[in-house]
């Protein structure tokens, strides 16, 4: 015969096991979600870097099209020039900043362009969970 003190012990251990298994399940789901978000942000960071490099390449191409010893700087050399990107880079906005200066070498005028390209996720603010920003800079001479 069992005493009345032993009744209900299996119920307490079953509830304890259910709570522990549920906590492990929540932990596994949270870990998986965090890992997935981290991987997504890593890919977006790589895309943003490629978009920033594309902005530099756009500026380098345009500078290379300028005549040597030009009397004035490249016309589109401006602060905050937005560049359109497409394909896998479409969720990103690219802004190219350009600062021209010149130097006289002998009888020639040499233009020096300080180029900064910034790629960031469109429509999101700095500090947002999904915000990504990458910068690339170059100095071009023509």
Mean pLDDT of 47-54: 96
Give pLDDT, residue 3. Answer: 57
Give pLDDT, residue 107. Answer: 85
pTM of the model: 0.77
Sorted by where each begins, the domain ranges of the chain are 9-141
pLDDT tens readout for residues 90-101: 889 999 999 999
Give pLDDT, residue 69. Answer: 81
How is 12-68 classified by DSSP, letter by letter? Answer: HHHHHHHHHHHHHHHHHHHHHHHHHHHHHHHHHHHHHHHHHHHHHHHHHHHHHTSPT
Give pLDDT, residue 48. Answer: 96
Residue 41 burial by Cβ neighbours in a 10 Å radius (0-12, 13-18, 19+): middle
Band (pLDDT 50/70/90 cuts) for residue 6 is: low
Return the minimum-mean-pLDDT range out of 1-10, 17-26, 117-126, 127-136. 1-10
88 close to 67: Cβ distance less than 8 angstroms: no
pLDDT of 2 strictly over 60: no
pLDDT of 115 strictly over 60: yes
């Amino acid at each position: 015969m069992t005493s009345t003190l032993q009744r209900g012990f299996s119920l307490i251990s079953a509830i304890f096991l259910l709570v522990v298994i549920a906590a492990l399940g929540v932990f596994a789901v949270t870990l998986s979600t965090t890992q997935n978000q981290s991987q997504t942000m890593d890919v977006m960071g790589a895309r943003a870097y490629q978009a920033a490099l594309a902005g530099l390449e756009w500026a380098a191409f345009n500078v290379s099209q300028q005549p040597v010893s030009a009397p004035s700087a490249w016309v589109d050399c401006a602060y905050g020039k937005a560049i359109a990107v497409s394909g896998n880079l479409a969720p990103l906005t690219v802004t190219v900043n350009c600062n021209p200066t010149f130097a006289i070498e002998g009888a020639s005028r040499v233009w020096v362009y300080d180029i900064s390209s910034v790629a960031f996720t469109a429509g999101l603010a700095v500090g947002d969970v999904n915000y990504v920003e990458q910068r690339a800079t170059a100095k071009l001479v023509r």
